[in-house]
Amino acid sequence: MREVNAKVIQQTVKELFLEANYVIGKDILDKLRQQYETEESPIGKSVLNQIIKNDEIAAEEKIALCQDTGMAVVFIELGQEVAVVGGDFNDAINQGVKQAYTKGYLRKSVVNDPLFDRVNTKYNIPAITHITIVPGDKITINVTAKGFGSENMSRIKMLKPADGIQGVKDFIVKTAVEAGPNPCPPIILGVGIGGTMEMAAILAKKATTRSVGEHNSDVRYARLEDEILNEINKSGIGPAGLGGRTTALSVNIEYFPTHIAGLPVAVNICCHAARHAQRVI
């Protein structure tokens, strides 16, 4: 067994959330710049210009690129030959989040109870953690700071197998178009197809953390990603919803085996401020 100290996990989680909140991925920034060149709408162009400038300022000054620094979501791939020592694993994650949000001047946006109290927990915890056990002796930590302007426009639907490819396409495009200006377009769509209801949603969230420009390794899904992206960009919604060709930057689909009677589809919308970071320890 390889031993990993909980303190290392805590420190890594902290650093990843700071990095994610300050520095937008190069893949996203490159794509924004490319879209700026081709965007036909003058308002759309000016919006993209503001977003690019914003992301440059945030990275340079080490400040949050968006004030909604999100709810902390942490995907862990835990090698089965790793023993976590020196502390509680879940505590380490939450302490890492707490430190990033308090020491990094990030906004604390979590309330303790969704319905009755709604009192701020003050440290942006608890984090939402998804752990998968994998072979090997490494831990992969993949974090995302999920803003709720876009989270609120996400949808899940249990389609019928008969709805097929067209049904899936229609639902995804409709979700993006109905969201309109609210999720801060240009958006990135994370899509989970298959599994059970919760599995589709988790896949969709994970898919939002994939790099822009990277496709599903299955060519059929990769083609579907392109077709849906094209369809959404025909909507004219554009940057900030003020018209233009750049409504979505990427459609990222992940899939999983499902039941003979089902076709779950989850669409997790993420704004252009798609803040995620990953490290292997």
Partner 1 sequence: MENNIRIETPVTDEEIRKLKAGDNVLITGVIYTARDAAHKRLIELINRGEKLPIDPKGQIIYYVGPAPAKPGYVVGPAGPTTSYRMDSYTPPLLELGLKGMIGKGLRSKEVINAMKEHGAVYFGAVGGAAALISKSIKKAEVVCYEDLGAEAIHRFYVEDFPAIVVIDSYGNNLYESEPPKYRIQ
Q: Is 47 in the site for partner 1 (CB under 8 A)?
A: yes
55 counts as binding ligand SF4 under rule CB under 6 A: no
Tell me the one-letter amino acid at 73: V
Of these, 38, 112, 132, 152, which contacts partner 1 (CB under 8 A)? 152
Interface with partner 1 (CB under 8 A), residue from 98, 205, 206, 245: 245
Phi/psi at 81 (5° precision): -95, 15
N residues, the chain: 281
Burial of 193 (0-12, 13-18, 19+ CB in 10 A): buried
Nearer to ligand SF4, 21 or 94 (CB): 21
Nearer to partner 1, 49 or 90 (CB): 49
Q: What are phi and psi of 249, to 5 degrees?
A: -95, -30
Both tokens of residue 193? 């197809």
Among 16, 66, 173, 228, contact with ligand SF4 (rule: CB under 6 A): 66
189-228: contacts with partner 1 (CB under 8 A):
none
Q: Of the candidates 198, 214, 279, which has an alpha carbon nearest to the alpha carbon of residue 253?
A: 214
Selected binder of partner 1 within 6, 200, 229, 240 (CB under 8 A): 240
In angstroms, the CA 220 to CA 126 distance is: 38
- 64 near ligand SF4, judged by CB under 6 A: no
Among the listed residues 87, 126, 136, 149, the single contact to ligand SF4 using CB under 6 A: 149
> What binding mask, one character per residue, do residues 104-133 give for partner 1 by CB under 8 A, x or -?
-xxxxx----------x-------------
272 vs 184: CA distance, rounded Å: 7
Q: Which is nearer to partner 1, 70 or 79 (CB)?
A: 70
Helix residue ranges, H only, the chain:
6-22, 26-38, 42-61, 89-103, 148-151, 164-179, 197-207, 219-233
The binding site for partner 1 (CB under 8 A) comprises 40-41, 43-44, 46-47, 50-51, 53-55, 57-58, 61-69, 105-109, 120, 149, 152, 180-182, 184, 234-238, 240-245, 271-273
